A = this chain, B = another copy of it.
């Protein structure tokens, strides 16, 4: 069959798809609809109940034990990689740079695509259900953006009805520095914080010290910096992909009553820094590239240093559930594609003044609300500042989170055998400490 015939008959996309299907078949059984397909291979740090931390890659119902794989010589330089993969965080691995991390990714993909189950499979594979995930990253710096126009407008309407979207919002990706020390991995319970609060019906501008009554979540995604930049040197929008290692789901727990009293003029502080939770698996940017989509139209046109070309957003489905007792209710469905400001724009803006970035830095999107009420990314918006009640499947209602509530967020791109999922981030609200104040 002449080559030109083949070219005529099969469309390019078909070839890619067939090729990919062939390349992406594994001897390992990977459940369809698993978050962790061969296209994904996210990184995490785990142990098996013994506290011996090691790096891993999630695949279906398993984990590739990267420490074991390096001991068996899968990546060459046995001692070097063994040392890297038995550290308590992925920072040193990520700092090796994308040429190295992508080669490791490729080696694992090749190993999973061998003709038949290799002899060393039992030594390298771990049942995911048996693993305990820990914080995968030491976070040197954490920044939170405010990049959803729907969220900024909703919050603006509640706090400043006359002036919902502030004049700077469409010109720059508004952001602020958050607290890195209190970022925790999924599963860590969150203690209801105390703080200064203006009680309803109290004397004007006279706070009391009390446990927060308006505990909330914020549905966000965060990207993790994979490459250091020197102080004084901006990162351009075109360079951003080089600097972004991967993404996690991010829950920016918020105490609205504490935040409301404290945030003018220097921004949120104790209303946020009592805890933020991330999903344990870092999905590499490479795995998300097939899921790039157009961004919303930006008006006014961004200044030149923020101007981008091509597909900058990602089609990542987001789902928030509130678990109470043995019942679970989906309370929001959103998507990262709604974000007005892209990650490249966030990073370019963050560094345009010469601010440097470090490996492991986390930059969160801000709450990702969509255009409809069912897609709002916080209880503040879902209950419209506590005006409406949200009905749960067990018949109870919520305006804000109650003690014992578990909040779960999930995120995924694609579907079926090619899903690139993030797993989940969840946290349960513990009652406030009994404090005299």
Which residues of A come within 8 Å of B, CB atoms? 140-141, 146, 159, 166-168, 171-172, 174-182, 184, 191, 193-196, 205, 207-209, 231-232, 234, 255, 258, 261-270, 273-275, 303-305, 349-350, 352-358, 361, 433, 435-437
Q: Which of B166, B263, B357 is the one whose CB lies under 8 Å from A181?
A: B357
Closest residue on chain B to residue A139 by CB atoms: B140
Q: Are A177 and B303 in contact (CB under 8 A)?
A: no
Q: Are B176 and A266 in contact (CB under 8 A)?
A: yes
Q: Are B177 and A273 in contact (CB under 8 A)?
A: yes
Residues in B with CB closer than 8 Å to A355 are: 179, 181-182, 270, 273-274
Given contacts A141-B179, A266-B174, A354-B274, contact A303 B209 (CB under 8 A): yes
Closest residue on chain B to residue A209 by CB atoms: B303
Residues in B with CB closer than 8 Å to A194 are: 234, 352-354
Q: How far is the CA of A177 from the CA of B269 in the complex (A)?
A: 7
Report A340 CB to chain B, min CB distance, Å: 15
Residues in B with CB closer than 8 Å to A175 are: 266, 269
Given contacts A264-B166, A266-B175, A266-B267, contact A352 B305 (CB under 8 A): no
Name the residue among A174, A358, A437 with the largest chain B CB count within 10 angstroms.
Answer: A174
Q: How far is the CA of A274 from the CA of B357 in the complex (A)?
A: 11
User: 5 nearest interchain CB pairs?
Assistant: A267-B267, A193-B353, A167-B205, A176-B266, A177-B177
Q: Are A181 and B352 in contact (CB under 8 A)?
A: no
Q: How far is the CA of A355 from the CA of B194 in the complex (A)?
A: 11
